């Protein structure tokens, strides 16, 4: 089913959003749900579920764009099963690589701005400094390779496109680290959490607001390219878990462990820090994830 929503809350940047129509690939994911909830004033949107836009069929995704009554297209859908991608890389690459490329080509043919979400997993996680948008990419696993394929396919299309790399997405919806920690924190007196992976937790609500701001800028003539967007301050998963427990009032203790003590099919980057200085071009800055966390906890409690 296609969900159509009219915006009545936020401004469309400095451009004005009266009558702007947004086509969003995605409906049930964390960012897609926040895009639906946080539509700017004067903006309407269609949100495409899998029955309307199957990312395993890139040709059909392009056909949807070609036929849509839209002024801008946002791809908030993806293969997000990082570990499963190790065994199903071909399928993951169709969803994360070929499908966004097909969308971008269809957008280029109609001169529609296209915005696409990517990930810190395109980097190898080496070092301790934040990764810049133009740093060399070197994914550690299948998921990162599939997302990098999507980035390259989007820009190869030749249209106006922006790729937004983000990290550690959390919200009150779906499966994510915050909800997992809350569940375990209620069940256990202590748990072990990886402490040597460092990055920026990023509320999906802030990603949605950033996408709308960037979409408005692209329609007003801003250049596309790659941007980074992650929450601040950078932290470890273990320290993030401690803050979740404290703010939720849970007595569960968090014990640090190394990544090597928690093996997974896909290797995770140790350094997921992202240099987000380019956000200033859009009048944006890194959101404080602690503020976002409090809002998530309030929503879950309600």
Dump pLDDT digits (tens) for 218-272. Answer: 999 999 999 999 999 999 999 999 999 999 999 999 999 999 999 999 999 999 9
DSSP conformation class of 106? H
Q: What local confidence, expressed as pLDDT, does residue 25 receive?
A: 98
Average pLDDT, whole number, for the chain?
94
Helices in the chain by DSSP H: which ranges?
30-37, 58-67, 82-87, 89-93, 99-110, 142-156, 177-187, 204-219, 237-248, 289-301
**CATH code for 2-175+202-231+273-287?**
3.40.50.720
143 is catalytic: yes
267 CA to centre of own chain: 19
253-257 and 169-170 as β-strands: parallel, antiparallel, unpaired? unpaired
Strands 202-203 and 114-119: unpaired
pTM for the predicted model, two decimal places: 0.94
Residues 6 or more apart from 243 whose CB is under 8 A from it? 235, 290, 293
CA distance 164 to 290: 21
Structure tokens at 132: 């810049």
CB 289 within 8 A of CB 201: yes
Question: What is the average pLDDT across 84-95?
Answer: 98
C-alpha torsion angle, residues 134, 140, 142, 148 (rounded to 10)? 0
What pLDDT shows up at residue 18? 72
List, for residues 15-42, the tens digit of each pLDDT value.
456 789 999 999 999 999 999 999 999 9
What pLDDT, in 10s, does the model give residues 97-133? Answer: 999 999 999 999 999 999 999 999 999 999 999 999 9
Q: Which of 13, 24, 1, 10 is nearest to 71 (CA)?
A: 24
Write out the two tokens for 7: 């915006």
189 half-sphere exposure, CB direction, 13 A CA radius: 0
What CA–CA distances, in Å, run from 228 to 50, 77, 132, 194, 275? 27, 18, 8, 24, 6
Q: Which of 121, 143, 212, 262 is catalytic?
A: 143
Average pLDDT over residues 206-210: 98
Return the residue matching tokens 């919806």.
Answer: 173
pLDDT in tens, 140-193: 999 999 999 999 999 999 999 999 999 999 999 999 999 999 999 999 999 999
The answer to whether the peptide bond before residue 83 is cis (omega within 30 degrees of 0) is no
């Amino acid at each position: 089913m296609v969900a159509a929503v009219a915006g009545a809350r936020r401004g469309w940047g400095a451009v004005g959003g009266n009558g702007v129509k947004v086509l969003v690939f995605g409906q049930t994911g964390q960012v897609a749900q926040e895009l639906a909830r946080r539509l700017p004033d004067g903006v309407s949107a269609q949100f495409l579920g899998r029955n309307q836009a199957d990312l395993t069929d890139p040709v059909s995704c392009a056909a949807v764009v070609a036929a849509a009554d839209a002024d801008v297209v946002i791809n908030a859908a993806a293969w997000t099963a990082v570990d499963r991608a190790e065994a199903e890389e071909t399928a993951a690459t169709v969803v994360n690589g070929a499908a966004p490329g097909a969308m971008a080509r269809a957008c280029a043919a109609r001169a529609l701005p296209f915005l696409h979400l990517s990930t810190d997993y395109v980097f190898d996680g080496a070092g301790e400094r934040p990764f810049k948008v133009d740093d060399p990419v070197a994914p550690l696993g299948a998921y990162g390779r599939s997302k990098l394929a999507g980035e390259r396919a989007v820009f190869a299309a030749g249209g106006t496109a922006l790729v937004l790399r983000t990290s550690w997405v959390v919200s009150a919806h779906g499966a994510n680290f915050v909800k997992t920690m809350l569940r375990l924190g209620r069940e256990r007196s202590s748990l072990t959490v990886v402490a040597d992976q460092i990055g920026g937790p990023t509320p999906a609500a802030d990603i949605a607001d950033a996408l709308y701001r960037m979409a408005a800028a692209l329609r007003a003539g801003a250049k596309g390219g790659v941007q980074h967007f992650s929450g601040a301050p950078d932290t470890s998963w273990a320290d993030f878990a401690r803050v979740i427990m404290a703010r939720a009032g849970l007595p569960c203790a968090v014990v640090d462990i190394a990544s090597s003590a928690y093996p997974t099919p896909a290797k995770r980057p140790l350094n997921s820090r992202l240099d987000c200085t380019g956000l200033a071009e859009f009048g944006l800055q890194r959101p404080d994830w602690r503020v976002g966390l409090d809002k998530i906890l309030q929503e879950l409690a309600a």
